[in-house]
Chains A and B, each alone.
Chain A
Amino acid sequence: MLKTQEFTLNMGPQHPATHGVFRLLLHLDGETVVKAEPIMGYLHRGIEKLAESRTYTQVIPYTDRLDYLAAMLNNLGYVQTVEKLMGIEVPERAEYVRVIVSEMSRLASHCLATGAYALDLGAFTGFMFPFREREKLMDMFEMICGSRMTFNYMRIGGVADDLPEEFYPAIKKFLKEFPACVDEYDGLITGNEIFQARTKGVSVLSSKKAIQYGMSGPVLRASGINYDLRKKRPYGVYDKFDFEVPVGENGDCFDRYNCRVLEMRQSHRIIEQALERLQELPEEEPLNAKVPKVIKPPKGEVYHEIEGAKGVLGYNVISDGTVNPYRVHVRRPSFINLSLIDEMCRGWKVADVVAIIGSLDIVLGEVDC
């Protein structure tokens, strides 16, 4: 009788396909995964604790470092939470600017997710194409706030600065080119026979399980649940836009990937509409609400959530009436989406583990916080 032995493989913390310093302890039977233990915390910086000793405005740059691939959305979630706590009304013009930059951030994040997913499956050229567009987005962010990754652009009550003159032609050019670029991704990656063989039917996540584990974002929608906070509980001015929520059917890796690609097209639509309305507004209109010089929210607790690039991004802020928040807690979608990784990986091959992690689109800054 042949005796087989289970063996363990440390995937990470330094591994090309774990999207950062994430470690997965795999118990393997040959190449088949018997058990997968996620080990995280390599990028823990204690952002929530740090926030307690900073003023409300000083917390904003820390939120950039959560999901550093879609930092504008983190900014947005935090400032809206504090505004909710203080009851601040944000001027309409600032709202549109916020929508534009947030959706650009979502595009940038999804571009990276799409490209990195192709790379995870071994298609290097599939990685380069979305990165070309991501690069253009980063250039535009640089025009807006001087930074390419960590923006610190939003302020409590508005945004830091007006959109610069040179931004408008750049974004218009980008919007014109972008749909053709997404078609290109569809041709190169989505439609590829091997890509579909690698992703279709792999690691199916049932809608019931997805809800039970609090999954959100494209991961949840791929399982067939139409839940997008921009539609379900619109915040800011999102109720004024015409867009659809792409929903998957099977909840497999392919659907999770495809949801993101389809969402890119919707984000493109939102930016187009927001830009149009923004330019209709008179330019004299302020970009900031009247906010006291020292931000001292009243005693109380508030929870606010927005639709981040990876899922529902929630901020829970407790104020004790001083200049520093008493407690800031972040509901990080990447972390929660990762909670089922063991069950999702079981019975699949090592190569599939890479595909599964990629399809969850985690970012370690957010997982470890």
Chain B
Amino acid sequence: MENLFTNLAGSLRAALESTGLPAILTDTSMTMVKLTAILVFILLNALWLVYMERKVAGYIQFRPGPNRVGPKGLLQTTADIGKLMSKEVVIPKQADKVLFLLAPALVFAPPLMVFAVVPFGENMAAIDMNIGLFYFLAVASLSTVIFWMAGWSSNNKYSLLGGMRVVAQMVSYELPLVLSILGVVMITGTLNISEIVRSQQGIWFIFAQPLAFLIFFIAGVAECNRAPFDLAEGESELVAGPFTEYSGMGFAMFFLAEYASALVISFMCAILFLGGWLAPFGMTFIPGWIWMFLKVYLVMFLIMWIRWTYPRIRVDQLMGFGWKVLVPLSLANIFVTGLVMKIFKMLGW
């Protein structure tokens, strides 16, 4: 069980090699298979997460949630997406057509690109890059550009305000996000994501770096525009922010991409701070990849729980919180981490 997927991949590779294909073709087709698997995984997850969110919201608000389409309402999101697909795509007259259509097409790209380096279990990363963490930071912030594209090209004042908010939010929260990870990188001395997980054998970093986890989690929630930082969308003020003018599948893409990026943040939380695929209390009879999912969904549930409890923060409070609280705290965290490491070294641990 533990190596179910790696064995599958191994046997597939062996089968390909036995046909006598050139090595380059084998490698390419293996990568394609892996990436397709990831693509399917994320899209299915986005569908499932919409359903889960609605069920969680229902539970919090003492109502049943979707329960009509399919068994226990499981097909509700599928039906919703089907409906959205059949809707007309309305392009406003004054919109910048190219950008307007490009934005929803591109919005899935950043989370998908991040998943290329995410290990789903031991040896289960599509590409085990040695600067994986750096790559994640670089790619994840790209989605801001896409939201801004949507906000600008719609030529709508609400969209514009929403787009402005996205950019302001990114500038204020990217920094604490990066700085909080730095503590982890200092301890492990590597940017390779799989290596970071392996170095948590002794202690999960949530215990070694609790402050960093908190900052990373908050900044991460802000990064994927989830409540209480969903200012960009802010439906009670800005109607739907950058997505105001989108209809049909364009809207659905943004809608699903929100879950994909929330999934990225959950994966990163699990990998960097919750020990990734490592089993707690030596419960190794459960395979690593299941542990991984359990942790990811725990974080995901936390994000949903917060969303359905808290009101939205105001734009100036958001910036103030980012710059005056999170950035100094994350800098202090780096300082303390460095100090403690130095002391440990002097003591010869």
Contacts and interface: CB of A to CB of B under 8 A. Distances in A.
Interface of A: 7, 9, 15-17, 30-31, 118-126, 128-129, 132, 188-189, 192, 194-195, 197-198, 349-354
Contact of A31 (B230, B308, B310, B315): B315
B61 A351 contact: no
Query: Which of B161, B228, B239, B310 neighbours the largest number of chain A CB atoms within 10 Å of its CB?
Result: B310
A120 B236 contact: yes
Contacts of B239: 15-16
13 contacts: A15-B239, A30-B164, A123-B310, A124-B57, A124-B61, A128-B62, A129-B61, A192-B310, A194-B228, A194-B311, A195-B311, A349-B316, A350-B161
A198 B235 contact: no
10 closest A-B pairs by beta carbon, nearest first, are A122-B312, A123-B311, A121-B311, A128-B61, A17-B236, A122-B311, A351-B314, A351-B237, A125-B308, A120-B236
Nearest to B168: A31
A145 B313 CA distance: 42
Interface residues of B, number: 29
B99 interface: no
A123 B57 CA distance: 12
Query: Which of A17, A188, A189 neighbours the largest number of chain B CB atoms within 10 Å of its CB?
Result: A17
Given A7-B157, A188-B309, A194-B311, A122 B236 contact: yes
B331 interface: no
A252 to B, nearest CB: 14
Given A31-B161, A120-B236, A125 B60 contact: yes
Nearest to A355: B314
B52 interface: no
Query: What does DSSP make chain B's interface, helix, strand, loop or mixed?
Result: loop
B63 interface: yes
A128 B315 CA distance: 25
Contact of A351 (B57, B227, B234, B310): B234
B314 A352 contact: yes
B235 A16 contact: yes
Contact of B311 (A15, A118, A132): A118
B314 A123 contact: no
Contacts of B230: 122
A349 to B, nearest CB: 6
Contact of A194 (B235, B308, B310): B310
B315 A194 contact: no
B323 to A, nearest CB: 16
Interface of B: 57, 60-63, 157-158, 161, 164, 227-228, 230-231, 234-239, 308-317
Contacts of B308: 124-125
Contacts of A123: 309-312
Nearest to A188: B309
B163 to A, nearest CB: 12
B234 A9 contact: no
Contacts of B228: 122, 194
A122 B61 contact: no
Nearest to B320: A197
A118 to B, nearest CB: 7
A194 to B, nearest CB: 5
Contacts of B164: 30-31
A288 B297 CA distance: 63
B237 A198 contact: no
Query: What does DSSP make chain A's interface, helix, strand, loop or mixed?
Result: helix
Contacts of A118: 311
A9 B311 contact: no
Nearest to B316: A349
B236 A119 contact: yes
B302 to A, nearest CB: 15
A125 B56 CA distance: 11
B166 to A, nearest CB: 13
Contact of B309 (A125, A198, A352, A353): A125
Query: Which of B230, B313, B314 neighbours the largest number of chain A CB atoms within 10 Å of its CB?
Result: B314
Contacts of A198: 311-314, 317
Contacts of A353: 237
A133 to B, nearest CB: 12
A349 B312 CA distance: 14
A122 B161 contact: no
Contacts of B63: 128
Contacts of A192: 310-311
Contacts of A126: 311
B157 A9 contact: yes
Contacts of A119: 236
A355 to B, nearest CB: 9
Contacts of B236: 16-17, 119-122, 354
Contact of B312 (A7, A9, A189, A351): A351
A353 B231 CA distance: 15
Given A9-B157, A16-B239, A350-B237, A121 B315 contact: no
B318 to A, nearest CB: 10
A354 B237 contact: yes
Contacts of A128: 61-63
Contacts of A132: 62
A7 B63 CA distance: 42
Given A128-B63, A194-B228, A350-B238, A121 B157 contact: no
Contacts of A350: 161, 237-238
Contacts of B312: 121-123, 194, 198, 351
Contacts of A17: 236-237
B62 to A, nearest CB: 7
A249 to B, nearest CB: 22
Contacts of B309: 123, 125, 188
A353 B161 CA distance: 15
Contacts of B62: 128, 132
Nearest to B317: A197
Query: Which of A121, A122, A349, A352 neighbours the largest number of chain B CB atoms within 10 Å of its CB?
Result: A122
Contacts of B158: 9
Contact of A122 (B57, B234, B317): B234
